[in-house]
Amino acid sequence: MERLQKVIANRGYCSRRRAEEFIQKGKVKVNGDIITTLGAKVNEKDEIMIDGTVLANEPKEYYLLYKPRGIITSTKDEKNRKTVIDLIPTKTRIYPVGRLDYDTSGILLLTNDGELTNALIHPKNQIDKVYVAKVKGFVTPSNLKTLSNGVIIDGKKTSKGRARLKKYDKKTNTSIVELIIHEGRNHQVKKMFEGLGYNVLKLKREQIGFLNLSGLKSGEYRRITPKEVKILYSEIKKN
């Protein structure tokens, strides 16, 4: 027996967090009965239905996408803008692991494996996310240290990370900074720089854990191999 929200996520319908929202809103039925308790447990034989859709056990799929700028990180968009789901031709219901802003490019994982999604986005597992930001102005050594030690955003200090200056262009007065963090708070990287007085001109996520964008061009994707999935799970267990 497992918690209902975990089973929903594992069947590839949505993330565990989203599943909890569906349960609390009374949109989930188990064997015909509406369930609103987050602690409810079910087994594999139970019929689970959300908004009239019976959830089947689909094979797990894993993708690595080089997200371009100007694409929404969502399964659908009310304004009918193009989403990351539109870039991967699969009939399986997959969803993005975490988010990248509309104007941010880089690596994004998509899957219907709810357990892996939940583990990768949880800060306690400390999965490194490598960003490269182009910002206006010279990022001083003291500010690089502050970025590494944590910046207060939205009233809460970010966890420790690593920051280094890759390049400074005197002509354009812009800095290229690599920032490694393991959190995924809303607009976190931009807010960290803005908190120190820097305007982010361009932002790209280059790596998640050991996975990177090698061999891919913007807008392209590839399947994550079974071996890579196993390594991801082993990295999570280490933390």
Q: For position 223, what pLDDT does the model report? A: 97
Structural domains in the chain plus CATH codes: 2-54 (3.10.290.10), 62-123+211-238 (3.30.70.580), 128-208 (3.30.70.1560)
Residue 101: active-site member? yes
Q: What distance, in Å, lies between the first and last C-alpha atoms of the chain? A: 25
Q: For position 239, what pLDDT does the model report? A: 61
> One of 77, 101, 113, 169 is an active-site residue; which one?
101
Using alpha carbons only, give the angle 172, 174, 176 rounded to the nearest 5 degrees: 140
Across-strand partners of 184? none
Q: How far apart are CA 32 and CA 176, in angstroms?
A: 56
C-alpha distance from residue 175 to each of 104, 128, 163, 170, 219 (Å): 17, 22, 12, 9, 26
Closest CA to 94 of 78, 79, 116, 66: 116
- Over residues 57-94, the pLDDT tens digits come to 778 999 999 999 999 999 888 888 899 999 999 988 89
Using alpha carbons only, give the angle 213, 218, 222 rounded to the nearest 5 degrees: 55
What is the DSSP code (8-state) at residue 227? H
What is the DSSP code (8-state) at residue 230? H
- pTM of this prediction? 0.82
- Over residues 186-231, the pLDDT tens digits come to 899 999 999 999 999 999 999 999 999 999 999 999 999 999 999 9
